[in-house]
Amino acid sequence: MKNNDPSISADTIARFYKQIRRIRRVEETVIDLYPTDKIKSPVHLSIGQESVSVAVCEALRPTDVVFGTYRGHALYLAKYGDMKAMMAELYGKADGCARGKAGSMHLVDMKVGMMGTSAIVATSISQAAGYAFALKQRKSDAIVACFYGEGAMDEGAWHETMNFAALKKLPVLFVCENNGYAIYSSVKDRMSSVNICARSESYGIPAARIENGDTRKLYAKVQSDAAAIRAGSGPRVIEAMTCRWRDHVGPGEDRVHRYRPDAELNAWIAADEMKKLGELLPATKRAEIDRDVEAELAAAITFAEQSPYPEDREIYDHVFAAE
């Protein structure tokens, strides 16, 4: 297969592939480890959705920041969060990115601009706008990317934030990861109008839909949106069509629940972005990347296994800001 987009270099394709591969392999390892009970937190896997986080983060600058949701492994790793600290966090260990107190649903790595994720649907949307407001007041040229599932658009916080962000022309890119389901409820059974872009545009925010989790199209769109936002345009919305291959929560598959047609899921799996991008690379390059990813993953698991549990006396630390 050929890369038909001349504006995207071979090195960029290799980075896309490597980042998606890192996320995929970490989560496949989480699936394998889960029955051992070493992972002490619920997990919401991003397998199938990796391309959205990767395309967006590759198009941002390292100084830009992101906010996300409980389905946050992909975003954390796409923003180059520390894999060792993420695995230790899932194990509930003291070297975890939140000292083992937060688990999979509240990943954070502020050094790389991964500002946090939340288990409560839609909460990080208003936090992202607050951060963008501060950036604007400080005349920073950084921008915020705010990730949420389409389920978050059913929350009042989404509507309030859209209005405020548009009114104040905040430097924020809203990324709606539309996987079509909130837990087991289809978007069609929840929204009177499923036109997510139109709903976003009703607040005066330009919005565009990118189909099929297409990494290259998403990357190009985020590049142009980020440039406009940096130039003062105010917010933009991208609706990224994607698919969660595994269950809403936990390591399993969910076909037994029969809430979505098998053919729909199979079509997404057959159109795997990781596979497509891998086929654009020479086989030797792909093998080199795969080896590097396995080495990084093995080191992260060893790190998590060897890290101690936090001391009991730490339980009340970091609850309130220090005086």
Residues that bind ligand TPP (CB under 6 A): 71, 119-121, 149-152, 179, 181-183, 248
Task: Give the shortest CB-86-to-ligand TPP separation in angstroms.
Answer: 18
Residue 218 vs residues 15, 34, 151, 268: alpha-carbon distances, Å: 15, 32, 21, 17
- Collapse the DSSP code of 223 into the 3-class scheme (helix H, G, I; strand E, B; otherwise coil) and give the result: helix
Task: Give the shortest CB-269-to-ligand TPP separation in angstroms.
Answer: 17
Cα separation, 295 vs 132, in Å, equals: 37
Task: Give the shortest CB-129-to-ligand TPP separation in angstroms.
Answer: 17
Q: Which is nearer to ligand TPP, 261 or 308 (CB)?
A: 261
Task: Give the shortest CB-177-to-ligand TPP separation in angstroms.
Answer: 6
Nearest residue (beta carbon) to ligand TPP: 149
Task: Give the shortest CB-155-to-ligand TPP separation in angstroms.
Answer: 6
Task: Give the shortest CB-123-to-ligand TPP separation in angstroms.
Answer: 7
Cα separation, 281 vs 309, in Å, equals: 41
Task: Give the shortest CB-160-to-ligand TPP separation in angstroms.
Answer: 14
The single-letter code of the amino acid at 164 is F
Cα separation, 152 vs 118, in Å, equals: 12
How many C-beta atoms surround the C-beta of residue 169 within 10 A?
Answer: 15
Task: Give the shortest CB-198-to-ligand TPP separation in angstroms.
Answer: 18
- Collapse the DSSP code of 11 into the 3-class scheme (helix H, G, I; strand E, B; otherwise coil) and give the result: helix
Place of tokens 């057959």: 270
Task: Give the shortest CB-146-to-ligand TPP separation in angstroms.
Answer: 13
Q: Which is nearer to ligand TPP, 119 or 208 (CB)?
A: 119
Sign of the Cα torsion 77, 81, 82, 88 reads negative
Contact present, 54 and 77 (Cβ < 8 Å): no
Q: Which is nearer to ligand TPP, 72 or 234 (CB)?
A: 72
Return the C-alpha torsion angle 100, 106, 111, 114, nearest 10.
160
Q: Which is nearer to ligand TPP, 90 or 175 (CB)?
A: 175
Q: Which is nearer to ligand TPP, 40 or 260 (CB)?
A: 260
- Please report which helix (H) or strand (E) contains residue 216, including its range: helix 215-230
The set of residues, in sequence order, having a beta carbon less than 8 Å from that of 232 and lying 6+ positions away, is 169, 171
Cα separation, 280 vs 173, in Å, equals: 29
Q: Which is nearer to ligand TPP, 147 or 203 (CB)?
A: 147
Query: What's the token pair of residue 284?
Result: 């030797």
Q: Which is nearer to ligand TPP, 89 or 239 (CB)?
A: 239
How many C-beta atoms surround the C-beta of residue 239 within 10 A?
Answer: 22
